[in-house]
Structure 1
């Protein structure tokens, strides 16, 4: 079953951000755009490259009104230790959710139950708490955070302009489509 179009289910988890521990819940995702990136585990190989890349796009995503969260099944304590020991992760200023309860990866259908780890899943959630974008990669395939910018802009455009859709390779300011019977077979 796809999580697209579904509301974020209730959860509570501990997180690490900028030297502090905090509690995060589905309420943190409401009233703003949210980018939620799951990854398998702290102290690994591809994960720090992805989280550092996400940090490099963090200010651009914030300018677009989105808050960023990463999440693994490690604890918030492990996130702190990783943040303090890794040059790449030490740059991260967004919230790092620790979910050893496996609740969030289960809700977003990225949990590898046998291993207790999350797949590489990226989700864009609208201000109403509804999932608009979902992308999942195999463990060995790292993501490129720069692609989130266009996806977020397209999701925001469609959210603000019901009845219009963004075609492939859509960029902000480009033409959109208004689905109708008149377009059938003409594109």
Structure 2
């Protein structure tokens, strides 16, 4: 299983951007930026849209931190497009189709017995090293605010104590 301080596995896959355009996305496309890669279980479910839309609403905050957001699930790009156009709404970042489940497996996010990914989150630095990995139950939505706080802490390059926030001392 992949661990923090290891190189993030590269991947290339089809993603949906905007209102439903298809494009190829590779992790290596984002060298020089921080990457927030998150996996979610399935399109057209109940908890997933709350996270997906929150990441999109906070896109400007990620941009100001030199970070890009990439969402991924085992659904097809066609399912992503249908969901965006029929309820989810336009997003400010790509939704990656991991239909083969290869990316989810590489990141240890795939729940093999269920056939879909858990809620896994990774922070990857501009050189491709993982600085944060979190796995939530499919029933428990993640905190986008905590992802942002953790990204800010990782970007300091310092030791940040519990509950650290920007402006506080590091140790």
TM range, smaller chain: over 0.9
Which residue of structure 2 lines up, in the alignment, with residue 143 of structure 1?
Answer: 142
Q: Partners of 1:155 and 1:46 in 2: how far apart?
A: 27
What SS does the corresponding residue of 2:104 show, helix, strand or coil? helix
Q: Which one has a bigger Cα radius of gyration?
A: 1
Q: d(CA) in 2 for partners of 1:10 and 1:55? A: 23
Q: Distance in 1 between matches of 2:127 and 2:67?
A: 13
TM-score relative to the length of structure 2:
0.94
Distance 2:110 2:21 in 1: 26
Could you say which residue in structure 2 is the equivalent of 1:123? 122
Shift of 1:174: 1.3
- Give the Cα separation in 2 of the matches to 1:10 and 1:145: 24
Deviation of 1:175 (Å) = 1.0
d(CA) in 1 for partners of 2:41, 2:32 = 28
Partner of 2:8: 8
Q: Deviations over 1:68-124 (max 9, x none)?
A: 0100000111111100001xx204221100011111111110101122200001111
Shift of 1:135: 1.0
Structure 1 alignment gaps of length 5 or more: 159-163, 178-187
Measure the CA separation in 1 of the matches of 2:170 and 2:133.
Answer: 21
Conserved? CA contact 2:36–2:122, under 8 Å = yes
The structure that is strand-richer by fraction is 2
User: What is the DSSP-based 3-state SS (H/G/I as helix, E as strand, rest coil) of the residue aligned with 1:149?
Assistant: helix
Deviation at 1:2, TM superposition (A): 4.6
Unmatched 5+ stretches in structure 2: none
Aligned length: 170
Residue 168 of structure 2, aligned match among 174, 180, 186 = 174
Deviation at 1:53, TM superposition (A): 1.3
- TM-score using structure 1 length: 0.87
Distance 1:138 1:57 in 2: 23
Distance in 2 between residues matched to 1:42 and 1:27, nearest whole Å: 25
SS at match of 2:103: helix
CA RMSD of aligned residues (A): 1.2
